[in-house]
């Protein structure tokens, strides 16, 4: 009977949150006549099931665009190789941050090879994928405000949650790369990227070499904040040397092997 009541409560919580757009733990506890500890457990399980988004202090509905999209987008063999090369840096028990984006997503199928991973992401797509795997890591969401342009969670709340942890690696994508400055973007929402970088012992940028052709005005991460650039074999020797001169290890990924 208790199991049935628990399921009914969780279904009612989803309906309540979807109707109101957001809910705090204390409000839900009062609404459903249970403890905040129980509500937090309910929200964690509902987030793992992909029917709610866990946020700092509460929960929000799953954005419609995310709910309708496939778990992982089809990508080129070149991007898949970058994901495999990035995952090769990992070890059992690693604590990692994975930024949203089609290139960082290519790491996800390789994470099953490692045990007891802790993964934080601002990508609902990544979190949903990871929680459906047999060798499921501990998954943490940044929470925050949904940004349709980047298809990710951003903002002060996401930064605050990320700052509360420490990580071995942060794997971050790039809209553009400036050989002299670092990663660049048109989007001015660079706060979470900077927070991810500062929360990690080492930062790895995962990006195709074509990103060197994208000139963008806003500096996101300077080279001094980056330990690795993981890219494809089309990077020119001159560009590779220039980035190496900034103290960044350039790792080349090829479709036929790491």
| Tens-digit pLDDT profile for residues 17-34 | 988 888 899 999 999 999
Is the pTM here over 0.85, yes or no?
no
Confidence of residue 40 (pLDDT cuts 50, 70, 90): confident
- The domain locations on the chain are 2-62, 77-253
Asked whether the predicted pLDDT for residue 4 surpasses 50, the reply is no
Tens-place pLDDT, residues 211-243 = 988 778 889 999 999 999 999 999 999 999 999
| For residue 258, pLDDT beyond 50 | no
CA distance 62 to 66: 7
- From the list 113, 106, 100, the residue with the least C-alpha distance to 230 is 106
Q: 162-208: per-residue pLDDT in tens?
A: 999 999 999 999 989 999 999 998 766 678 999 999 999 999 999 99
pLDDT category of residue 72 using cuts at 50, 70 and 90? low
- Give burial (CB, 10 Å; 0-12/13-18/19+) of 145: middle
Name the pairing type of β-strands 249-253 and 228-232.
parallel
In the CATH scheme, what architecture does the domain 77-253 have?
A: 3-Layer(aba) Sandwich (3.40)
Residue 208 phi/psi, 5-degree rounding, is -70, 155
Query: What is the domain class of 2-62 according to CATH?
Result: mainly alpha
The dihedrals phi and psi of 16, each to the nearest 5 degrees, come to -65, -45
């Amino acid at each position: 009977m208790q199991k049935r009541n628990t399921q009914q409560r969780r279904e009612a919580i989803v309906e309540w949150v979807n109707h109101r757009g957001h809910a705090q733990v204390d409000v839900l506890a009062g609404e459903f006549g249970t403890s905040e500890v129980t509500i937090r457990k309910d929200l964690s399980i509902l987030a793992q099931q992909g029917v709610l988004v866990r946020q700092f202090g509460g929960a929000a509905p799953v954005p419609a665009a995310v709910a309708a999209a496939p778990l992982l987008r089809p990508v080129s063999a070149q991007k898949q190789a970058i994901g495999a090369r990035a995952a090769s840096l990992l070890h059992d028990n690693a604590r990692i941050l994975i930024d949203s984006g089609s290139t960082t997503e290519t790491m996800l199928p390789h994470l099953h090879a490692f045990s007891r991973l802790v993964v934080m992401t601002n990508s609902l797509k990544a979190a949903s994928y990871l929680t459906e795997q047999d060798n499921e890591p501990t998954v943490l969401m940044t929470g925050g405000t949904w940004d349709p342009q980047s298809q990710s969670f951003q903002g002060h709340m996401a930064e605050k949650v990320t700052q509360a942890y420490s990580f071995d690696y942060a794997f971050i994508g790039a809209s553009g790369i400036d050989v002299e400055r670092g990663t660049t973007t048109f989007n001015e929402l660079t706060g979470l990227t900077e927070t991810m970088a500062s929360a990690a012992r080492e930062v790895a940028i995962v990006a195709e070499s074509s990103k060197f052709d994208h000139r963008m005005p806003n500096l996101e991460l300077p080279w001094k904040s980056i330990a690795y650039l993981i890219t494809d074999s089309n990077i020119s020797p001159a560009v590779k040397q220039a980035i190496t001169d900034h103290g960044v290890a350039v790792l080349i990924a090829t479709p036929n092997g790491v």
